[in-house]
Amino acid sequence: MIAPLEELLSALSRLPGIGRRSAERIAFFLLAKPEEGRRLAAALAGLDQVTRCPQCGNFATEGLCPICRDPERDRSTICIVARPWEIAHLEKTGEYRGLYHVLGGLISPGQKVGPEDLAIEGLLSRVRAGGVREVILALEPKLEGDLTAMHLLRALKPLGVQVTQLAQGVPVGRDLESADELTLGRALKGRRAL
């Protein structure tokens, strides 16, 4: 096998969910259709433009993200997620019109992630700035999500804001991304006060 092909197979095999056989299928597709390879390369180069929203931590291209910038969104509600891609998933439900806040992870004693490693101060500043009535915790119903929820509840309660969490429609013990839109939409509707 020639070097450029080996390098492509090896780069493709490192992607999640792509085994050696899938990598071969993709590589031969790209060799047969060079325009698709150029399209993918251009899209990869475009990732350099991706920044983070200085307010909520969502993906953005410059300044605030499209959600924080949208005047139609309800600024009295902030939905907390661990990772920025969970926002896209919640948005697909069409059930939520508020803002978001990305923690950047979850408290995990095993992986030595403490509250100080997460964007919690930024969240508290946003709440202290006023106008926020409800904070929705959209965290995974596993140990780390529960630990983080407890910590946030303790930090937010003194600020006089209502803290709710997604209803247990979210499948227990699985990633938030694995929930379908309907389940996530129901979980948002059925959120309960803590």
Task: State the residues that interact with a copy of itself by CB under 8 A.
Answer: 1-5, 7-8, 10-12, 14-18, 22, 24-31, 34, 36-50, 59-61, 65-66, 83-85, 88, 91, 177
Q: Which is nearer to a copy of itself, 41 or 159 (CB)?
A: 41
Q: Which is nearer to a copy of itself, 40 or 150 (CB)?
A: 40
Measured from the CB of residue 2, what is the shortest distance to a copy of itself in angstroms?
A: 5
Q: Where does 17-160 have alpha helices with state H?
A: 20-32, 34-46, 66-69, 85-91, 120-128, 143-156
Q: Where does 56-177 have alpha helices with state H?
A: 66-69, 85-91, 120-128, 143-156
Residues 6 or more apart whose CB falls under 8 angstroms from that of 59 comprise 50, 51, 52, 53, 65, 84, 85, 87
Measured from the CB of residue 157, what is the shortest distance to a copy of itself in angstroms?
A: 32
Measured from the CB of residue 158, what is the shortest distance to a copy of itself in angstroms?
A: 34
Tell me how crowded residue 132 is: count the other CB atoms within 10 A of its CB.
Answer: 22
Residues 6 or more apart whose CB falls under 8 angstroms from that of 157 comprise 163
Q: Which is nearer to a copy of itself, 20 or 128 (CB)?
A: 20
Q: Which is nearer to a copy of itself, 1 or 193 (CB)?
A: 1
Give the CA distances from residue 28 to residues 21, 81, 86, 157, in Å, rounded to whole numbers and listed in that order.
11, 39, 33, 57
Measured from the CB of residue 81, what is the shortest distance to a copy of itself in angstroms?
A: 13
Q: Which is nearer to a copy of itself, 44 or 193 (CB)?
A: 44
Measured from the CB of residue 62, what is the shortest distance to a copy of itself in angstroms?
A: 10
Q: Which is nearer to a copy of itself, 61 or 76 (CB)?
A: 61
Measured from the CB of residue 115, what is the shortest distance to a copy of itself in angstroms?
A: 21
167 and 187 Cβ atoms separated by less than 8 Å: yes
